[in-house]
C-alpha cells in the first residue's frame, strides 16, 4: 500500500479521547514508520469527539479543527521513545 504511493492514517493513541486531551501514544505507529523508513506527518484533531463520539455509528454535523505539522523521520529501534517524540510533535500543534 505505502510502496504504491498511498498514504496510511494511524491514530497512535489506539482510541478516541474526549476533549482536547491526548491519551499516551502507543509505540506501534512509530515502529511501522521506523521500520518502513517513511515520513510521518503529525496531525491534531480537535472537536472530533463532538462530531463522532465513541459508540456513535455515524458522524453528526459540526466543526473539527485539523492541524498539520512538518513531517518527521522516525529512526531507531526504541519505539517507545519514537512514540514519545511523535506525541510531543502532535501536542505542539
Angle, to 10 degrees, between the axis of helix 28-36 and the axis of helix 79-91? 110
pLDDT in tens, 9-66: 888 988 777 777 888 899 999 999 999 999 999 999 999 888 988 788 898 999 999 9
- Residue 73 contacts residue 34 (beta carbons within 8 Å): no
DSSP string for residues in 28-77? HHHHHHHHHT--B--EEEESHHHHS-TT-SS--S---EEEE---B---SS
Dig out the grid coordinates for 10 from the structure: 494511524
Domain residue limits, the chain = 2-91
Residue 14 cell numbers, joined: 489506539
pTM, rounded to two decimals: 0.83
Amino acid at each position: 500500500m505505502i510502496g504504491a504511493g498511498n498514504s496510511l492514517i494511524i491514530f497512535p493513541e489506539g482510541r478516541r479521547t474526549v476533549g482536547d486531551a491526548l491519551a499516551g501514544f502507543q509505540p506501534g505507529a512509530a515502529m511501522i514508520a521506523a521500520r518502513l523508513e517513511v515520513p510521518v506527518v503529525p496531525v491534531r484533531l480537535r472537536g472530533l469527539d463532538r462530531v463522532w463520539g465513541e459508540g456513535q455509528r455515524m458522524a453528526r454535523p459540526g466543526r473539527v479543527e485539523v492541524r498539520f505539522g512538518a513531517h518527521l523521520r522516525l529512526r531507531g529501534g526504541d519505539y517507545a521513545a519514537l512514540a514519545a517524540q511523535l506525541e510531543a510533535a502532535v501536542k505542539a500543534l
